[in-house]
Amino acid sequence: MDAVTKRYPDGTVAVDRLSLDIPDGAITVLVGPSGCGKTTTLRMINRMVEPSEGRILIDGVDSRQQPVNTLRRSMGYVIQNAGLFQHRTIVDNIATVPRLLGWNKAKARDRARELMERVGLDASLAERYPYQLSGGQQQRVGVARALAADPPVLLMDEPFSAVDPVVRKGLQDELLRIQDELGKTIVFVTHDIDEAVKLGTMVAVLRTGGRLAQYAPPAELLSDPADAFVEDFLGADRGIRRLSFFSSAGLDLLTGPVVPAGATAEEIAARDTGGAPRLLVTDPEGRPLGWAGPDTLAAGPVDAARLLSYGRPFVAGRDSLRAALDCAVLSPTGWAVAVDDTGRVTGVVSQQAIGDAIRTAHAAGAKTEGATGAEPDGTAGAGTDGMSGPGTDGTAAKAAR
């Protein structure tokens, strides 16, 4: 978008000289308070609203040079409450665009069923009507319908705003997964900054009057808000939330303080506990049972009831430093328990060591930002792919958010 302005006939300037370079194959989020011009901006992309000034280039071509129907067909559109046709079944809702494109009914329905699976809808829902589905399920149908003709671009206007937080998190995770699998270019509108930070490869913060306040990868928004408006909009806990972008992979995990439930007194005495105030007892599969003091262990077979809770472990390497810190803060010993994907303990780490890792990550992040403006990563071996820019590293850290 190149200096795009929208002035409605009544004189309202909804969008004011907005310039944005929207990356291919990534999620770009437009976020800002109500009335700041998000919907107008989105609708100018598929020409449901015509810009008053400026140009919108798609793959370098002015969007006005394409017939508007061709343009719209290349862009799926998803809105809040899904906007489904109430008198059509789920499968026929999803098949709408393929049918308009002249596909025969069987082929369109096959495609619709394939998409139901893709968005996590059970096949048994195919012949139901929208009112027979929950809000979250309807929203999934909306996404499936938008994907039906396989458009390269998805435009999404507050698609998840009307569903409750738990369902919403599921829908967000699903969208990240779909994006990962299909590599669509997605422009996503929300007024929720947490949703923006979670989903966006790039985030455009708009202020009232349709003016761009900042356009940056989410980690950079959190570390370097452009001004007081952006800082205020980001809200509290900016520093803690930024830790979501740092992987826990580099943490130095200690195995000395981890003992199997049947360990003998001699084995325990021989342990180098690395300063841990207690020992973490594991079951025969290596899963955590709880923290024991030396006296508990000396007294013979471990009585699980006498162990201190190990809290909520983090998955080393997959979860972020934010998750690791949270584990340590919640742990009665101040030490976090790391597990692998199967729940087996891989080690323990102190709050102190996590703090050291955070300082190191911040220092490295500041260096990266200074050099390239890129998002600090911290995930070894998961670099950016160049095309969709910073943030695609996020698979590790994003999963943790």
Ligand X SMILES: Nc1ncnc2c1ncn2[C@@H]1O[C@H](COP(=O)(O)OP(=O)(O)O)[C@@H](O)[C@H]1O
Positions touching ligand X (CB under 6 A) are 8, 10, 12, 14, 34-40
Of 15 and 397, which CB lies nearer to ligand X in the complex structure? 15
- Residue 147 binds: one of ligand X, Mg ion, none (C-beta under 5 to 8 A by kind): none
Residue 12's binding partner among ligand X, Mg ion, none (Cβ under 5 to 8 angstroms by kind) is: ligand X
How far apart CA 264 and CA 260 sit, in angstroms, is 9
- Which of the choices ligand X, Mg ion, none does residue 35 contact, using the CB cut-off of 5 to 8 A by kind? ligand X
In whole angstroms, the minimum distance from the beta carbon of 191 to ligand X comes to: 7
Partner touching 40 among Mg ion, ligand X, none, CB below 5 to 8 Å by kind: ligand X
Of the candidates 96, 172, 183, which has an alpha carbon nearest to the alpha carbon of residue 140?
172
The closest of 144, 139, 100 to 118, measured between CA atoms, is: 144
In the complex, the smallest distance separating the C-beta of residue 6 from Mg ion, rounded to whole angstroms, is 13
Q: Least distance from C-beta 33 to ligand X, angstroms?
A: 7
DSSP track, 84-123: --TTS-HHHHHTHHHHHTT--HHHHHHHHHHHHHHTT--G
Rounded (5°) CA angle 222-223-228:
70
CB of 5 to ligand X, least distance (A): 12
Quote the least distance from Cβ 87 to ligand X, whole Å: 28
- Cβ-based nearer residue to ligand X, 92 or 158: 158
Which helix (H) or strand (E) is 76 found in, with range?
strand 75-79
Cβ of residue 167: shortest distance to Mg ion, in angstroms? 21
3-class secondary structure per residue, 239-269: HHHHHHHCECCCCCCECCCEEECCCCHHHHH
> How buried is 69 (Cβ within 10 angstroms: 0-12 exposed, 13-18 middle, 19+ buried)?
exposed
Which residue lies nearer to ligand X by CB, 158 or 174?
158
Nearest to 121 by CA among 133, 109, 106, 107: 133
Q: How far apart are the C-alpha atoms of 83 and 139, rounded to whole Å?
A: 9
What is the C-alpha separation between 401 and 396, in angstroms, rounded?
Answer: 9
Contact of residue 34 among Mg ion, ligand X, none (CB under 5-8 Å per partner type): ligand X
Residues of the shown chain interacting with Mg ion in the complex, contacts defined by CB under 5 A? 39
Q: Which does 248 bind (CB under 5 to 8 A by kind): Mg ion, ligand X, none?
A: none
Closer of 188 and 245 to Mg ion (Cβ) = 188
- Kind of pairing, strands 61-62 and 211-216? unpaired
Q: What are phi and psi of 213, to 5 degrees?
A: -90, -40
Q: Which does 352 bind (CB under 5 to 8 A by kind): ligand X, Mg ion, none?
A: none
Q: How far is the CB of 13 from ligand X (least distance, A)?
A: 8
Picking from 18, 377, 26, 355, the residue whose alpha carbon sits closest to that of residue 205 is: 18
Least Å from the CB of residue 38 to Mg ion: 5
Number of neighbours of residue 133 by Cβ within 10 angstroms: 18
Nearer to ligand X, 35 or 256 (CB): 35
Nearer to ligand X (CB atom), residue 34 or residue 124:
34
- Residue 91 or 189: which CB sits closer to Mg ion? 189
* Strand order, beta sheet including 53-55: 13-18, 2-7, 53-55
* Least distance between ligand X and beta carbon 367 (Å): 36
Closest CB to Mg ion among residues 39, 89? 39
Cβ proximity to ligand X, 35 vs 183, nearer residue: 35
SS3 of 303-363:
CHHHCECCCCCEECCCCEHHHHHHHHHHCCCCEEEEECCCCCEEEEEEHHHHHHHHHHHHH
Residue 34 CB, nearest approach to Mg ion (Å): 7
Residue 10's binding partner among Mg ion, ligand X, none (Cβ under 5 to 8 angstroms by kind) is ligand X
Query: For helices 105-118 and 135-147, what crossing angle results, to 10°?
Result: 130
Nearer to ligand X, 50 or 252 (CB): 50
36 binds, among Mg ion, ligand X, none (CB under 5 to 8 A by kind): ligand X
